[in-house]
């Protein structure tokens, strides 16, 4: 037990048990996001693959979501967003890696998650309130995921302009509000041959992740997959 654990004891967000942020009992109770959905029409789709009939240029090849956005997972995500703690990023990143590894084993139809050449790209901080320490929690979780899976993690995107909050905006307004918010980071084009795994914490209407996908694909990235903790 470190001095930090003594000063700021970890407690499970679900039941209050001390020692971890998310105890194994509460992990077992967290609802999986099932079925997975097509990132274009948001209807059920095997393994989160984009439906063949949903073809639209500059859209992702697929989307995988770990949890339903409710209960303890929702509290965990709020906690890491607003009061960043690196131990919590580790717990979330490891949970996500375990989820993907399990997925790879159980999913017969989709070899996607078995691929070893993913380049993980975290969504940069944008309309979300930047937390007081200036960390991008999404990037921190992405780094833990990457090191667990043996995948490279790169900030290929940056925020091109600030946005108004997305809270309270509906689908169309959200898409309009987010347009043009991301740009490519210097040097990003050198990674164009990689298979991209775009990572964000939550899929709400998808407008953020879809806009980021559009920017990458317009720049010549061929395949972009999306992954979020919850929806
Ligand atoms: Zn618990
Ligand atoms: Zn579809």
Near ion ligand 1, which residues have CB within 5 Å? 12, 14-15, 17, 23, 26
Contact (CB, 8 A) for 181 and 210: no
Residue 20 burial (10 A CB sphere; 0-12, 13-18, 19+): middle
Give 205 Cα–ligand 2 centroid separation in angstroms: 14
Q: Which of 9, 15, 42 lies closest to 28 in space, CA to CA?
A: 15
pTM of this prediction? 0.88
For ligand 1, the distance from its centroid to the CA atom of residue 62, given in whole angstroms, is 31
pLDDT of residue 126: 56
Distance of CA 102 from the midpoint of ligand 1 (Å): 22
> Using CA atoms, how far apart are residues 71 and 91, in angstroms rounded to an integer?
17
Which run of H or E residues covers position 149?
Answer: helix 137-149
Cα(14) to ligand 1 centroid in Å equals 4
Q: Spell out the domains of the chain, with CATH numbers in brackets.
A: 9-230 (3.40.50.2020)
Encoded tokens for 137: 């929690």
| pLDDT tens sequence for the chain (231 residues) | 556 556 667 889 889 999 889 999 999 999 999 999 999 999 999 889 899 999 889 999 999 999 999 999 999 998 888 776 778 899 999 999 999 888 766 665 455 665 557 899 999 975 445 555 567 889 999 999 999 999 999 999 998 776 666 667 777 777 777 788 899 999 999 999 999 999 999 999 999 999 999 999 999 999 999 999 999
Residues with CB under 5 A from ligand 2 (ion): 38, 40-41, 51, 54
pLDDT value, residue 92: 94
E runs forming strands in the chain: 62-67, 118-122, 152-153, 157-159, 182-184, 195-202, 224-230
Residues 119/152, Cβ–Cβ less than 8 Å:
yes
Q: In this structure, are strands 195-202 and 152-153 parallel, antiparallel, or unpaired? A: unpaired
CA atoms lying within 13 Å on the CB side of residue 10: 20
CB 231 within 8 A of CB 207: no
Residue 198 near residue 60, CB atoms below 8 Å:
yes
Ligand 1 centroid from CA 92, angstroms: 14
């Amino acid at each position: 037990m470190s001095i930090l654990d003594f000063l700021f004891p970890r407690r499970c967000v679900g039941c209050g048990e001390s020692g971890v942020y998310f105890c194994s009992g509460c992990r077992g109770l967290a609802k999986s996001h099932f079925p997975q959905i097509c990132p274009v029409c948001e209807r059920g789709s095997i393994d989160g693959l984009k439906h063949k009939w949903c073809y639209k240029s500059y859209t992702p090849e697929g989307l995988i979501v770990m949890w339903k956005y409710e209960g303890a997972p929702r509290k965990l995500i709020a906690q890491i967003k607003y009061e960043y703690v690196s131990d919590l990023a580790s717990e979330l990143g490891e949970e996500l890696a375990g989820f993907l590894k399990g997925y790879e084993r159980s999913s017969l139809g989709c070899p996607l998650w078995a691929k070893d050449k993913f380049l993980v790209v975290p969504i940069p901080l944008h309309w979300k309130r930047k937390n007081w320490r200036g960390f991008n929690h999404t990037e921190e979780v992405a780094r833990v995921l990457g090191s667990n899976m043996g995948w490279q993690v790169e900030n290929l995107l940056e925020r091109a302009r600030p946005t108004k909050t997305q809270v309270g905006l509906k689908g169309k307004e959200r898409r309009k509000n987010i347009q043009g918010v991301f740009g490519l980071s210097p040097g990003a084009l050198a990674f164009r041959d990689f298979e991209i795994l775009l990572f964000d914490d939550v899929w709400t209407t998808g407008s953020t992740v879809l806009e980021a996908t559009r920017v990458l694909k317009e720049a010549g990235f061929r395949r972009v997959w999306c992954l979020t903790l919850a929806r």
